[in-house]
Amino acid sequence: MFILSDWLLLLILFLPFIHLGKASKRFYFNNPMWPGKH
């Protein structure tokens, strides 16, 4: 059973990786043809 602090710890651990993934996608696919570009 997860406690709220465990979820917060997981978020703190994984948020930087998610942010890096989004940043790398913006960096490598920074063209208007890429469907994920906002």
Q: What is the mean pLDDT of residues 13-26?
A: 76
User: Is residue 36 predicted with pLDDT exceeding 60?
Assistant: no
The reply to whether 16 falls in a domain is yes
Domain extent, residue 20, equals 1-28
Whether residue 5 is contained in a domain is answered as yes
Assign 31 a pLDDT band (cuts: 50, 70, 90): low
Distance of CA 18 to the CA centre of its chain: 2
Q: How many structural domains comprise the chain?
A: 1
Contact 36, 26 (CB under 8 A): no
User: For the chain, what percent of residues have pLDDT higher than 90?
Assistant: 0
CA dist 12 and 5 (Å) reads: 10
- φ, ψ (nearest 5 deg) of residue 33: -80, -15
By three-state DSSP, how is residue 30 classified?
coil
pLDDT in tens, 3-18: 778 888 888 888 877 7
- Determine, yes or no, domain membership for 1: yes
Share of the chain above pLDDT 70, in %: 58
Taking CA atoms, 23 is separated from 2, 3, 5, 10, 36, in Å, by 30, 30, 27, 20, 12
**Does residue 22 fall inside a structural domain?**
yes
Q: Within a domain: residue 33?
A: no
